[in-house]
Amino acid sequence: MEIFTTGSGIEMLLRWGHFMAGITWIGLLYYFNFVQGEYFKEADAKAKSDVMQKMAPRAIGWFRWGALLTVATGLGIFAVRGGGMSIDIYVGALLGIFMFLNVWFIIWPNQTLMIESAKKAAGGGAASPQVAEAQAKAGLASRTNTLFSIPMLFFMGASSHYPHSFGALALIACVLVILVLEYNGAYPAIKHLDIVKKLPAAGKPGPIASVNGVIHSGLGLTVVLFLLLSYL
């Protein structure tokens, strides 16, 4: 069957996997930020504990593996295509890679600590004293991922339907904007590193602290990156 033996067929299968994994990943990202987080603001301690013990472990499992498969299939598409795609896809891919790193190295480890603490407290033990810090690290990284997801999805779609010619200056400008935002989002988790201690302090959620704020900021970031690609 040609679908398994030709480059175009393999690329189609990778795209299918990319879409399925991406929907799982981003859908759960929005669930955590738009649904669960807002619910926790109103729920009582018993209800929050039940969610953390029973629902959160399942959700975070699908979440992190969805992130991994999304990136893996995306890189597979790059390998099959051999590069040469429009600049849009490279900007979208960079956003996606930072989001993946945030999931695996900040959000998941800190969520795991929070889940284990909830289970310990429910069993009569003492909650971990690191819960508040873990929540702050995971929360800001998750909000940053939500911020990134909006332009990421735009540029993934734009790569086929609104391609830009490759411009080195435009790419550099976009990378710098993304790096600054990623540094802010990851700062609570990396501030102990020696190299980071020499850099300016960051880690402020600012407007992305609220649901409306992160949605509007994501749309604004999309416009900024789009304009950089269009005019540089």
For the stretch 191-215, pLDDT in tens is 999 999 999 999 999 999 999 999 9
* Structure-block tokens of residue 188: 């609570």
Q: Compute the average pLDDT of residues 121-137.
A: 89
How many CB atoms lie under 10 A from the CB of residue 190? 17
H-state helical runs in 31-130: 37-42, 45-50, 56-81, 87-102, 108-122
**Range with the lowest mean pLDDT among 23-27, 55-59, 226-230?**
226-230
- What per-residue confidence (pLDDT) applies to 2? 73
Contacts for 32 with CB less than 8 Å, ≥ 6 apart:
59, 63, 142
Q: Residue 137 burial by CB count (10 A; 0-12/13-18/19+): exposed, middle or buried? A: buried
Q: What percent of the chain has pLDDT over 70?
A: 96
Assign 163 a pLDDT band (cuts: 50, 70, 90).
Answer: low
More confident residue, 209 or 122: 209
Q: Of 189, 184, 214, whose CA–CA distance to 37 is shortest?
A: 214
201 Ramachandran zone, left/alpha/beta (phi>0; psi -120 to 50): beta
Mean pLDDT of the chain: 92
Assign 35 a pLDDT band (cuts: 50, 70, 90).
Answer: very high
* Structure-block tokens of residue 192: 């102990």
For the stretch 168-188, pLDDT in tens is 899 999 999 999 999 999 999
* pLDDT at residue 151 tops 90: yes
Q: What is the pTM of this model?
A: 0.94
